[in-house]
A = this chain, B = another copy of it.
Amino acid sequence: MSLDDRKLAVLRAIVEDYVATQEPVGSRSLVERHQLGVSPATVRNDMAVLEEEGYIRQPHTSAGRVPTDRGYRLFVDRLSRVKPLSPAERRAIERFLAGAVDLDDVVHRTVRLLAQLTRQVAVVQYPSLARSRVRHLELVPISTTRLMLVMIADTGRVEQRLVELPAPVPADDVLDLRRLVNEKLVGVRLSETPPLVQALIDECVPHLRPAMTTLSTVLLETLVERHEERLALAGTANLTRGGLLDFQGSLRPILEALEEEVVLLKLIGEVEPSTLRVRIGDENEIDNLRAASVVSTGYGPGATIVAGMGVLGPTRMDYPGTIATVRAVARYVGELLAQN
């Protein structure tokens, strides 16, 4: 059975009221606060149907109704109107991001901004190495048998690793090594470097082979294997906002999940299909987050996507507002990155 317009209006009203008040909403208060044009009794009938269909539920008999995950899903998909950002918010975003000097700085400011605007936990992934290209490789001699390898990616990320050489290598040879790796690898997607790194050893003058072999191991580690996807987190204190009513009383599982980088990456890093994604309660594959919702999106310079960012909060969250904010922040950051 499909739901008629009024039933949908009732669902929307329930979600909005519940999100606002945090209390189960009854039929009387509903008709009082929204112009539904019908009596409480009628609303009750509609509620009965909505409950049967699994969109709302009663915490206990003789209590008001509360939306289920399914109810929120319907709300997000079909019932929520886009909430345009206030000019004040737009200005806040611009001002907050304007002073950034550096990729680190951009990411840090972004994550704080998101946390502050949505009053929830924010996560921002650094531009993914997998999606970056090599801009430059630098070899800095630390001693005769030690080099510092510095990799600069076109997304602005910089990674460094220490290389322990098997035998001393004079400064001139280091320059040769440097020229070689740069010739072959600059401009290449990190994910596509492995065969080229292999080839490097073969094309290398014989007396540099041993050094190049060690170097190539470290290169592979730095470029693909160790694949250090970094992230920034902010706003954990916002988890306590709902006074422990959200998250069914225990922050434990949430905090645990937030400490696992792998989990977070799964959460916001998978940005393939659509550009903005909302995962509500049970839709999260991570057990610890069954009581939470996540709004995430990809971002990057211009239209390309180099990483993800998102927000985590109680299922009972202001979806339209959160979605609008996440989208706007991602766009601003994208513009900022495009300038560099």
Chain B: minimal CB distance from A104 (Å): 8
Question: Contact between B148 and A152 (Cβ–Cβ < 8 Å)?
Answer: yes
- CB closest residue in chain B, given A135: B142
Whether A29 is near chain B, meaning CB under 8 Å from some CB there, is no
Once A236-B255, A237-B252, A240-B251 are accepted as A-B contacts, the answer to whether A140 and B148 lie under 8 Å apart by CB is no
Instruction: Report whether A255 and B239 are in contact in the complex, using a CB–CB cutoff of 8 Å.
Output: yes
B residues in contact with A142, CB < 8 Å: 135-136, 152
Name which residue of chain B comes closest to A141, CB basis.
B136
Contacts of A152 in B (CB 8 A): 140, 142, 148, 160
CB neighbours (8 Å) of A265 from chain B are: none
Question: Chain A, 217-252, contact with B by CB distance < 8 Å: what is the 0/1 string?
Answer: 000000000000000001111011000100000111
Which chain B positions have C-beta within 8 A of A135? 142
Question: Please, what's the 1-or-0 string for A97-111, where 1 marks a CB less than 8 Å from any CB in chain B?
Answer: 000011000000000
Copies in the complex: 2
Residues of B within 8 A of A158 (CB): 148, 150, 158, 160
Report the minimum CB–CB distance from A255 to chain B (whole Å). 4
Question: Is there contact, CB below 8 Å, between B255 and A161?
Answer: no
Answer whether residue A79 sits at the interface, using C-beta atoms and an 8 A cutoff.
no
- Provide the residues of chain B in CB contact with A162, threshold 8 Å: 101-102, 340
Contact (A250, B240) CB under 8 Å given A140-B152, A158-B160, A161-B101: yes
Query: Does A5 sit at the interface, judged by CB under 8 A?
Result: no
Complex Cα spacing A158 to B152, Å:
13
Q: A residues engaging B (CB < 8 A)?
A: 101-102, 135-136, 138, 140, 142, 148, 150, 152, 158, 160-162, 234-237, 239-240, 244, 250-252, 255-256, 258-259, 340
Would you list 29 pairs from A and B whose C-beta atoms are within 8 A, ordered by A residue? A101-B161, A101-B162, A102-B162, A136-B148, A138-B140, A138-B150, A140-B150, A140-B152, A142-B152, A148-B158, A150-B150, A150-B158, A150-B160, A152-B160, A158-B158, A158-B160, A234-B259, A236-B236, A236-B258, A236-B259, A237-B252, A237-B255, A237-B256, A237-B259, A239-B255, A240-B251, A240-B252, A240-B255, A251-B251
